[in-house]
Amino acid sequence: MSGLCSIQTAYDSSDTNSSDDENHQKKSGILPRPEPTTDLVVGKRGVDVFQCPTPHIETDAKRPRLTLTESNGSKSTSEFLPLPDEVMSMFSGDKASDASSSSHQGRVRSFAHEAGNWATYVYVPIEVTSGLEDIVSALHECIPTEYNIQPMDILHLSVSKTVTLKYHWIRPFTELLSQRLAELPQFICAFGKPRVYVNDEATRSFVSLTISQGVKELEDIVKEVDLALNEFNLPPFYKPASFHVSIGWCLGDITKDISTEVLSNLERCFLEHISSIKPSWSVTKLCSKIGNKYFAFPLS
């Protein structure tokens, strides 16, 4: 294996060293669950190992028919035999399976699915500790049930918008991003007070923890990520940036409806619990999720 790139599971054994934390997480149901995927660690010279995506296969209705010319000059069209179910099941996960929002708890795509486009974003991974889990659980309990706040599958800190990459852009994009991030130093981040955000389409709202330390370093990261995205004519991050880690979401825009009392309770709850844990953590790498692939970019 090349020294520039190594393959590791997305959630290695270091994430499950503590059986107490693991049992605690299973009870709450609010923390990220391991995904059966591969994390590609990208070295300074780019990606040495890359997994090909699941190919798209068209349905039998769209498959071409073979036109045959008989000896008497007449033409006939032959029908292909239907593909076996075992073959068709190899290529699940296309746009037909994503069309219904009911399978995504009512969530709606920010952009229409198109074959060959890979949803992509860059983020800081968040290590979930039992202390952080306690804070998240307490904040969820402070929010009235009428808002129907759902837990996040994975906690992360975004440093890019969600954009779409063409398949043939994935390797050059990850290589360029690796080069731009490789010289940036590791740093310390810390959580700040809770805040409610809404997405650009006003289809989902998010209860989040803001960032109180490491903002300057995050701005430097965004600058490099934006430059990489610009090479592919993709949009930059929000300006001004408001860095945060979302801990829950709900459908619709609640930013104008949520009461000041609820917001005050969230802040009070956060301040009561933050003193019992270490609110800061070390940022040692950036990650990017491209489709169902994960890439890691170590900082210097």
DSSP per-residue string spanning the chain: --TT-EEEESS-GGGG--HHHHHHHHHH--S----S-EEEEPBTTB-S--PPPPPP---GGGS--EEEE-TTS-EEEEPPPPPPHHHHGGG--SHHHHS-GGGGTT---SS---TTEEEEEEEEE----HHHHHHHHHHHHHS-GGG-PEEPSS-EEESS--EEEEGGGHHHHHHHHHHHHTTSPPEEEEEEEEEEEE-TTSSEEEEEEEEEE-HHHHHHHHHHHHHHHHTTT-----SS---EEEEEEEES--TTTS-HHHHHHHHHHHHHHHTTS--EEEE-EEEEEETTEEEEEE--
Any idea which residues carry the catalytic annotation? 156, 244
Q: Compute the residue count for the chain.
A: 300
